[in-house]
């Protein structure tokens, strides 16, 4: 999927919502637990209830890896279901990989060739040769961690060098030598608020994946005030707020209602920016 196609989906759906599929068997409705594949059944219901309201899905790999082979099989079924039934969705493997070159190549092969994701989140700490293997797949994207939403982001990401640049700014500047606006996005957490203005000084035209709205306390309106560009340029993720809106048999309907609330706010913001 190109950036133009992604932007067209945003305009068509009046939404830049990404639904995070952080599916936890301890939190899904109990009536599903007797099913043969409760994780996939939960995902399928959520997807069917929200697909017209979002432009992307982001399975967090930890939730599937923690279940062993059953989790991997549920992930595979989930990706195939989205591909077959909702081919306009942008699929993000939230894996946060990144290792020496030959290992990164294996990670890239797994997520792009085997699972057919559109993109994968990658940690930049090991530098260019740990990222480049992911960028060799035509039509696929790297989503590089830049400024994250967790409290620990303060530990390293704001450290300054001798020129006064903060570490996350160095990541933004350096990574543009590796990729383009057509294969490289950046993770910037919603809890960073007005820091989005600083991010946009370095990457005015790149898409940003924005976790942290909802349960983590990020503010959608603040994110858009400082982070939205002339093409929107945002994929704002919501996971727990939508997935676990209700724990009984009406869970999918309640998830849809939560997604509608977010989409309506996004529509307002897109109209303010005259993007729709």
Query: Is the confidence at residue 151, as pLDDT, over 90?
Result: no
139 vs 12: CA distance, rounded Å: 21
Point out which residues pair with 122 in neighbouring strands: 97, 144
The pLDDT of residue 233 is 97
Decide if domain 3-272 falls under CATH 3.30.300.30.
no
Q: What is the pTM of this model?
A: 0.96
Query: Is the confidence at residue 226, as pLDDT, over 90?
Result: yes
Confidence band, pLDDT 50/70/90 cuts, at residue 194: confident
Contacts of 151 (CB under 8 A, 6+ apart): none
The pLDDT of residue 191 is 86
Point out which residues pair with 18 in neighbouring strands: 56, 237
The pLDDT of residue 218 is 78
90 vs 27: CA distance, rounded Å: 25
Locate the domains of the chain by residue range: 3-272
Average pLDDT of the segment spanning 93-97 = 97
pLDDT tens-digit readout, 36-75: 999 999 999 999 999 999 999 999 999 999 999 999 999 9
State the catalytic residue, choosing from 44, 70, 77, 96. Answer: 96
Looking at every residue in the chain, the average pLDDT score rounds to 95
Q: In the annotation, is 96 catalytic? A: yes
237 vs 66: CA distance, rounded Å: 22
Query: Is the confidence at residue 212, as pLDDT, over 90?
Result: no
Confidence band, pLDDT 50/70/90 cuts, at residue 257: very high
- Could you tell me the CA-to-CA distances from 167 to 97, 128, 148, 160, 236 in Å, in that order? 19, 15, 12, 6, 23
260 vs 271: CA distance, rounded Å: 16
Give me the phi and psi of 268, to 5 degrees please: -60, -45
144 in Cβ contact with 188 (< 8 Å): no
Give me the phi and psi of 132, to 5 degrees please: -55, -40
How much of the chain exceeds pLDDT 70, in percent? 99
């Amino acid at each position: 999927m190109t950036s133009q196609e992604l932007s067209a989906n945003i305009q068509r759906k009046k939404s830049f919502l990404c639904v995070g599929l952080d599916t936890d068997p301890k939190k899904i409705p109990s009536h599903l637990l007797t099913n043969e594949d409760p994780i996939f059944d939960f995902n399928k219901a959520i997807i069917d209830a929200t697909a017209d309201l979002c432009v992307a899905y982001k399975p967090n790999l930890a939730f599937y890896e923690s279940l062993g082979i059953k989790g991997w099989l549920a992930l595979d079924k989930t990706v195939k279901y989205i591909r077959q039934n909702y081919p306009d969705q942008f699929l993000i493997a939230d894996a946060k990989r990144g290792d020496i070159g030959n290992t990164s190549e294996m990670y890239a092969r797994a997520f792009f060739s085997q699972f057919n994701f559109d993109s994968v989140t990658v940690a930049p700490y090991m530098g260019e040769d740990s990222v480049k293997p992911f960028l060799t797949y035509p039509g696929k994207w790297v989503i590089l961690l830049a400024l994250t939403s967790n409290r620990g982001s303060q530990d390293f990401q704001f450290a300054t060098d001798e020129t006064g640049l903060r570490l996350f700014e160095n990541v933004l500047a350096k990574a543009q030598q590796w990729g383009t606006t057509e294969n490289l996005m950046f993770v910037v957490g919603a809890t960073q608020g007005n820091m989005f203005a600083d991010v946009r000084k370095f990457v005015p035209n790149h898409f940003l994946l924005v976790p942290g709205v909802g349960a983590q306390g990020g503010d959608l309106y603040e994110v858009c005030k400082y982070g939205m560009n002339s093409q929107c340029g945002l994929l704002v993720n919501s996971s727990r707020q939508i997935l676990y809106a209700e724990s009984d048999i009406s869970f999918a309907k309640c998830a849809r209602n939560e997604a509608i609330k977010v989409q309506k706010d996004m529509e307002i913001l897109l109209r303010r920016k005259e993007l729709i």
